[in-house]
Structure 1
Amino acid sequence: MVKMKPIEFTPMTDDLSEELRVSCKPGLMPMAAITVSPSGCAMPEEYELYAERLHNFEVYEDDVWVISYPKCGTTWTQEMVWLIGNNCDFDAASDKLLLQRFPFLEAVSIIPQPQMDERAQFLDEHVLFADTIDFVEEQPSPRFIKSHLPVALLPKQIWTKKPKIIYVTRNPMDAAISYYHHHRLWNGYVGSYETFMEGFLQDKLVYSPFWEHVLEYKNMENQEHVLITSFEEMKADLKGVILRTADFMGKKLSDEQVEELMFHLSFANMKNNPAINGEDFIKEVKEKHDMPEDDPELTFIRKGQVGGWKKEMPHHFVEKFKLWTKEKLRGSTYTEDDFY
């Protein structure tokens, strides 16, 4: 059981954090502005308004949670887990957006309230709820819940009710590149690539620090209600991950269901699935905030590759990431091979 400590907030006033904040377009998702103790997690200032509600959120034993640091394969894992938990009902999956079937618990805490109020008119079409905490509370059991929160900021009942938790991680260089393009779209980030990568390495981005996030969950993998996987494992052996996840969830899939699920979860099908890819809303965002419509990087599901950093990350940043990872894992019992 994790011992809960009081939550405290500290403003991020350093120059790098300020540069990241002023490099984003107003009216979109904000950058980190506070660190939250005891985790040290960087969050937008809006989080402070919802921290207590999230801390006291009622958890059920039959909840199923998918948790990750952002851009580590969360959406892919959500779709897999929901279908395993719903007997591979592909028709139901196509009839309802993933955001409805598998809502993002703390989304309300990382989006400015004026933007949430404006989005309320799109409830039926885009499911960008004015209050995602309320929405999750109203879901029928078993509830499927997405979160990016670190261990210390999860609802306190997690540790007594012990719902199923599937945690997915990824090579941080690939995650950082994907997070950069995510910020270009959802935060309207117009700053430099170099500044963003320094922000990742120096724990200035929302939900950072990366390695502390990963290690806290990795340290719980021997608990019966926690399953750890990775984007790389899913790419290398999707069938194996499906079977392991189904066993973890207490579900039995037929050979035919496994094959159908593998096909459904292929990159091409995920990218072209309107219940997942958010095409309509992304088009609205681009039009409203003067973003290029033909930029292939400004999509919800981008490339889905392992090792894309080899082509997309400059050598000096590769070296920085490797040294950073070595330092972060020093003193632990893990190597990089234990994660991806």
Structure 2
Amino acid sequence: MNLSLLIDNLTSPALLFFLLGILAVRLKSDLEIPQNSSKFISLYLLFAIGFNGGRELAHSQLSLEIGWSVLFGVLSSCLIPLYTFFLLRKKLSAENAGAIAAAYGSISAVTFVTAVTFLELQKIPYSGHMVAIMALMEAPAIVVGVLLVRLFGEKDSAAPGIRSMLGHSFTNGSVLMILGSLAIGVLASEKHAQGIEPFTTDIFKGFLALFLLDMGIVSGRKLNDFLKSGWFTSAFAVLVPLLNGCVVALLSGLVTAHAGDRFMLAVLAASASYIAVPAAMKIAVPRANPGLYLPMALAVTFPVNITFGMPLYLSIIVWG
């Protein structure tokens, strides 16, 4: 791994604000982001990344490479929950295994946004269609996770159907915002897009830093309870995402030669959902324990990815 990349990521303001949030919890500080403000910042980040991705997509031409990249991303989101479910079943119930597998097969939009900033620091471009791939990777993992629970878990006649779950996945607020912003970015004229450019680009990194401060506070509050669950879930939350990211960093060269796109595919495969999947699992698999899959994704996998994972995936792509 390139040591300079690791040091550069460890000293980025976004990560340092995340660590400040954890430190605030450990010091029992009253520092916090109001809930309404936190939700607004989340929506802003999704709006900005979706709109800018739509503008990039509007300037690009559809190609076979884009088609293969989309297929690669969707297949990744289906295969990851399949193999992780059976790995998790060695220690956990089918319900908990299915929920965790869905979380790790799905994606984290915030990790994607952080990856955008990371690539900007390295001056490496990425394609606008990666935003579409991110949005399309959210739902398949949820459906696969629910199906696995239905097949191997306790039968529940009151559970919603697959069609209902799929609809919920795409109408989830975060997914709808990113898809809607992407579509608007594609449709907007150049003149109108430039009119809101200061809002979509100039203040982006500041809002990202504030959001990661909030994520650090939330993570710090959940970390102790999660660590009490034992070594297996902790090891899984560290090792499996790194494995997924490294494998995709290598295999993505089969569908695209662009380093930025390969990096984004690796980050998406390595990330874990802590917004859309918990919302879906609460409805579809109420027996699953959110005290496991939520802290695993947010308090462990997220910081591992933004500290060590991203430099590792990029090093594999550049030097592999």
- Output the TM-score relative to the length of structure 1: 0.24
User: Relative contact order, CA 8 A, sep 6+: which one is greater?
Assistant: 2
